[in-house]
Amino acid sequence: MAKYGAPYVPYFALAFFCLVGAGSLALIYPLFVGTLFGSIFSPDKPSALAPLLAVVSGLLNRLFPGYQLSPLDPVLALLTGILVVQSVLSFGRTYLLNYVGEKLVADVRRDLYRHLLSLDVTFFANRRTGELTSRIASDVTAIQNSVTLSLAEAMRQVIVFTGGTAFLFWIDWRLACLLLALIPVLVVSFAFFGRNIRRRSTRVQDALAEATAILEETIAGIRTVQSFAREPYEVNRYETHITRSLREALGRALARGLFNAAIVFVLFGGFVGLLWYSGNQVLAGKLTAEQLIQFLFYAAWVGGALGTLAEYYGEFNQTIGASRRVVELFETKPAICDRQDAQPAQPVSGLVEVKDVHFTYPGRTEPALDGITITARPGEVIALVGPSGAGKSTLISLLPRFYDVTSGAICVDGRDVRAWKLADLRSNIGIVPQETTLFSGTVYDNIAYGKLDATPDEVERAAQAAHAHAFITGFPQGYQTIVGERGVKLSGGQRQRIAIARALLKNPRILILDEATSSLDSESERYVQEALDVLMEGRTTFVIAHRLSTVQRATRIVVMAHGRIIEEGTHQDLLAREGMYKKLYKLQFRDVPEWILQEEAGARGAAPQLQVARTALP
């Protein structure tokens, strides 16, 4: 974390100068207060500040000739001048430290977010969104408060304590030694209570992160929660972690309360003892009234500084707990990243070779893929079919390197995908998933996400090709319509067509369609399928489908089960065999007369309508 402060060292230095200046000037006040009381109660005794006050008196006489100065006027004038300078320095200290703190924390948030986006999908599969949100928001905010507010005040108190102690020794070294004898007791208290506060602070942040994760999940799935009437269950889940957080926070508050109580008892007990001892010194004639007032003021300031430092010590321990969680994220290394010898992409033709690929998900023992070999030439459409859990989605997740193969290789244009730069590889792959992800912006923004520098005409053409233009222009705000979080304001079919428009705008050489038309009604499905036909032209395409009517025109159909390829061929070839494909086909179309299938196929020149398959399902 120290690297974030390096660019702001000049600001820190200037702020420290203002801090030292303001703190040093503040240390002068007890001297003048003592002098003031000495002038009132012992006017016949010379003050230690008499030479300085004489200079100030001379200046006042020149500025205000004829004015009769009282003994207190030079003291007041000097204090006023010091106050003006101190105010300017205090402003500089406060502004500069807040400026540095805000900039530093913004840098941390920005880099932490960038680092999170660089991590692989395995990391996010093992973390909940609310937990990560809590770390970026709550934990970094805790660091921000310490940097922008507490650090400046703590440094000021250090100056007050150091300078005040020096003045105490200057006034009477014996009394100063008595006061400093309290410090070992305070140090032991710091060490004893500090560990407890740090430990509990970390547990508080962990419990809050869990509660935030539950909150995020519940809000995201509010329709599911309400449809199952699980509000009491979710409230109980949330309250469990809030209660744990409360318990740890109360334990931390107890530790801090005991810590502060111990500090107050030691400091004020010591102050009472000093008052008794110094009062006897005055009565014995070993201290003047001026020295006594100065010493008591400095003793109060030093004690107050120690007490304040004790409070900030507890707060910094809380910050350490939060910063550890942030550092833990920074220290997490992505499992999927560019190799040192990764080369930029050349123009991609779209040749994809899957060579004896085996893959097992992290933390599992059962392989998800077991010796898959497929070659997809440029422009071919490869359909992946099979029962759920066959490994279809796993296979296409390896192509853009969401995961890396356990053994074997996947090559694009003859080069292992692990030798590509990730950004180049993924920029040549377009994915239209079954569960569409839209961002909470406008329709235009979501389509333009496929090509950030796209012109409005390009965005509109992509929407027209995806048959989304008509319903978009039907909205009052058109392309500037807000889609809501995750596109909640749109229907499933509308979301899917926007996702297809986004992929069309990206114009990739390799296309992955994962049940891309599953959310569409029959009419929209026809239009979108035609748009996809145009999109697939000349591109290497992988189509995952459970409904076999969507894959009959594929160049080649690959039937998978249990992570293996059990059949491969064209639709007609596979129907001619007594294999799994034919069984799946008969299961889906067993109640559909053959003449309907033929008529539908003839109407489109290919596969029957998906709606037919949908109604045919048992």
pLDDT digits (tens, 9 = 90+) for 332-362: 888 888 888 777 767 788 899 999 999 998 8
Give the integer Cα–Cα distance in Å for 121 and 402.
6
We report the CATH number of the domain holding residue 99 as 1.20.1560.10
On whether residue 92 sits in a domain, the answer given is yes
Give a yes or no: residue 174 inside a domain.
yes
Q: Which of 14-28, 41-55, 460-474 has the lowest mean pLDDT?
A: 41-55
Owning domain of residue 94: 2-331
Supply the pTM of this predicted model: 0.65
Q: Which residues contact 155 (CB under 8 A, 6 or more apart)?
A: 16, 19
Q: How confident is the model at residue 616 (pLDDT cuts 50, 70, 90)?
A: very low
Contact 102, 94 (CB under 8 A): no
CA pair distance 377, 239, nearest whole angstrom? 56
Residue 3 half-sphere exposure, CB side, CA atoms within 13 Å?
5
Structure tokens at 505: 């705008």
| CA pair distance 27, 22, nearest whole angstrom | 9
pLDDT at residue 310, rounded to an integer:
67
Q: With 80 as the cut, is the pLDDT of residue 553 above it?
A: no
Q: Of the given ranges (202-211, 503-512, 514-523), which has the lowest mean pLDDT?
A: 514-523
* Percentage of the chain modeled with pLDDT above 70: 79
Q: CB–CB of 571/552 below 8 Å?
A: yes
Give pLDDT tens digits for 404-426.
999 999 999 888 999 888 888 88
Q: How far apart are the C-alpha atoms of 214 and 211, rounded to whole Å?
A: 5
Q: Is residue 479 a part of any domain in this protein?
A: no
- 11 and 89 Cβ atoms separated by less than 8 Å: no
Say if 21 falls within a structural domain: yes
pLDDT digits (tens, 9 = 90+) for 571-611: 888 888 888 888 887 776 654 444 444 444 444 443 333 33
Residue 391 domain-assigned?
no
* 456-465 helix and 522-536 helix, angle to the nearest 10 degrees: 120
Instruction: Identify residue 379 by its one-letter amino acid code.
Output: G
Instruction: Out of 63-67, 145-149, 485-489, pick the least confident.
Output: 145-149
Q: Is residue 290 part of a domain?
A: yes
Tokens representing 151?
């650090």
Give me the number of domains the chain comprises. 1
Can you give the pLDDT at residue 353? 93
In a domain, 567, yes or no: no
**What pLDDT shows up at residue 160?**
81
Structure tokens belonging to residue 363: 């933390």
Strands of 369-376's sheet in order across: 369-376, 352-359, 407-412, 415-416
pLDDT, position 323: 74
- Please report the pLDDT score of residue 377 as a whole number: 92
Whole-number pLDDT of residue 134: 72
| Mean pLDDT score, 11-26 | 83
pLDDT of 43 over the 60 cut = no
In a domain, 603, yes or no: no
- Residue 463: CB atoms within 10 Å: 26
Percent residues over pLDDT 90 in the chain: 10
> Whose structure tokens read 């199952």?
228
